Amino acid sequence: MLRIVVLGAAAGGGVPQWNCGCAVCRAARTDHPEIRNSQASVAVSADGEHWFLINASPDLRYQVTRTPQLHPKPGALRHSPIAGVILTNGEIDAVAGLLSMREGSPFTLYAHERVLAILKSNSIFNVLNAENVKRRPIEVERAFEPALPDGAPSGLEVLPFEVPGKGAWYLEGKAHPAGNDGAGDTLGLRVLDKASGKYFYFLAACARVTDDLKSRLAGAALVFFDGTVWRDDELIAAGLGNKTGQGMGHISMSGDHGAIESLAGLDIGRKVFLHINNSNPALLHGSDERKTAEQAGWHIPADGMEITL
Ligand SMILES: [Zn+2]
């Protein structure tokens, strides 16, 4: 059985974002604490005992604290059920939480060599002692089975694949530590339970839905999908910034080539938006945007949402 916990549902900055006075952030601070969300990450387990994180958000410490499945087992002085972290990109949102895992528990870090190169070029990540925290390069279209700290198989099979997207924004205009072709900077994952054969997809960043991607996702029991913005010019229209969703490598939920339309009719069991930016009106309960998404069969999750497959 696959057990999944949404540790964080929000995009970078979270909801509310510390310096944001937009309508959603104001509502989250005042009358609607139910829409407060931490930054995107998911935990997954095949046995209910050992867990793998997909991305380590800057809110990781808070997320672990509020998730009983990730607490040290009773009676152990030092222990963590977190057996590994799988990184889908090298953005701050995905890697900063690693710095909250520096207290000496062994786990394995799985990432594309481009992402590992970003970590290697930042000396602050040396705080994760290489003896305790093994780095394992992952490759596009090559499935792997994450291992438990003692080397035993986890029962999971993870298939990374390339997603239309863009590189880490803080590297824009700079030479990439691992070369500059952009490959491997944004990965999607298929995570499969080897015992049952059930699987889900994780795509927290995706710039557009290609025909290849549609055929990949068709028939999946569960898809977590990029829900950063409702409309492409949302940040500009709200006066919050000068970037479009596309400019940040994120598809919009709505619109002609948006996620809702692009993934319609693909026979996906459960469609869950993830990485939802605080500017996105679909976060507000009762908003027209949320109703539209829900009527199209999408879930707008909150932190702590649990799913079993
Ligand atoms: Zn805001």
Q: What are the tokens at 271?
A: 């469609």
Of the pLDDT bands very low, low, confident and very high (cuts 50, 70, 90), residue 175 is low
pLDDT of residue 167: 53
Of 200 and 248, more confident: 200
At 164, is the pLDDT very low, low, confident or very high (cuts 50, 70, 90)? Answer: confident
Ligand 1 center–CA 33 separation, angstroms: 14
User: How high is the pLDDT of residue 247?
Assistant: 82
Output the CA 279–ligand 1 centroid distance in Å.
5
Contact 163, 176 (CB under 8 A): no
Distance 22 CA to ligand 1 centre (A): 4
Banded pLDDT at 104 (limits 50, 70, 90): confident
Contact (Cβ atoms closer than 8 angstroms) between residue 162 and residue 183: yes
Q: How far is the CA of 24 from the centre of ligand 1 (A)?
A: 6
Measured distance CA(100)–CA(57) in Å, rounded: 10
Q: What average pLDDT does the structure give for the chain?
A: 93
Cα 237 to ligand 1 centre (Å): 13
Whole-number Å distance, alpha carbon 201 to ligand 1 midpoint, is 28
CA of 30 to the centre of ligand 1 (A): 13
**What pLDDT was estimated at residue 246?**
84
pLDDT higher than threshold 60 for residue 179? no
In the block, residue with structure tokens 């499945």:
69
Mean pLDDT of 110-130: 94
Cα(108)–Cα(136) distance, integer angstroms: 7
Distance (Å) from CA 118 to ligand 1 centroid: 29
Ligand 1 centroid, distance to 1 Cα (angstroms):
37
User: How far is ligand 1, taken at its centre, from the CA of residue 283, in Å?
Assistant: 11
Strand partners, 299: 272
CA of 230 to the centre of ligand 1 (A): 13
Alpha-carbon distances of 91 from 115, 136, 224, rounded to whole Å: 9, 18, 18
**Ligand 1 centroid – CA 60 distance (Å):** 21
Distance 308 CA to ligand 1 centre (A): 31
Cα distance between residue 95 and residue 113, in whole Å = 14
User: In terms of Cα–Cα distance, which of 69, 76, 37 is closest to 53?
Assistant: 69
Q: What is the mean pLDDT of residues 248-275?
A: 95
pLDDT tier, 181 (very low <50, low <70, confident <90, very high otherwise): low
CB 232 within 8 A of CB 183: no
Ligand 1 centroid from CA 250, angstroms? 17
Judge whether 298 and 269 are in contact, CB under 8 Å.
Answer: no
Mean pLDDT check: name the lowest of 38-47, 99-108, 152-161, 291-300.
Answer: 99-108
pLDDT at 125 over 80: yes
Strands 51-54 and 199-203: unpaired
C-alpha 277 to ligand 1 mean position (Å) = 8
* Sheet with 156-162, side-by-side order of all strands: 156-162, 187-193, 199-203, 222-226, 270-274, 298-299
Q: How far apart are the first and last CA of the chain?
A: 6
pLDDT recorded at residue 57: 97
Residues composing the chain = 309
CA of 194 to the centre of ligand 1 (A): 40
Residue 157, helix vs strand vs coil: strand
Q: What is the mean pLDDT of residues 142-166?
A: 93
Q: Do 185 and 154 form a contact (C-beta atoms < 8 A)? A: no
Q: Does the pLDDT of residue 260 top 90, yes or no? A: yes
Lowest mean pLDDT among 79-83, 136-140, 156-160, 232-236: 232-236
Asked if the model's pLDDT at residue 258 lies above 60, the reply is yes
Identify the pLDDT of residue 245. 87
How much distance in Å is there from the Cα of 276 to the middle of ligand 1?
A: 11
Cα of 110 from ligand 1 centre, angstroms: 32
pLDDT band at 284 (very low <50, low <70, confident <90, very high): very high
Quote the DSSP letter at residue 179.
B
CA of 156 to the centre of ligand 1 (A): 36
pLDDT above 90 as % of the chain = 83
pTM of the predicted model, to two decimals? Answer: 0.94
Contact 139, 96 (CB under 8 A): no
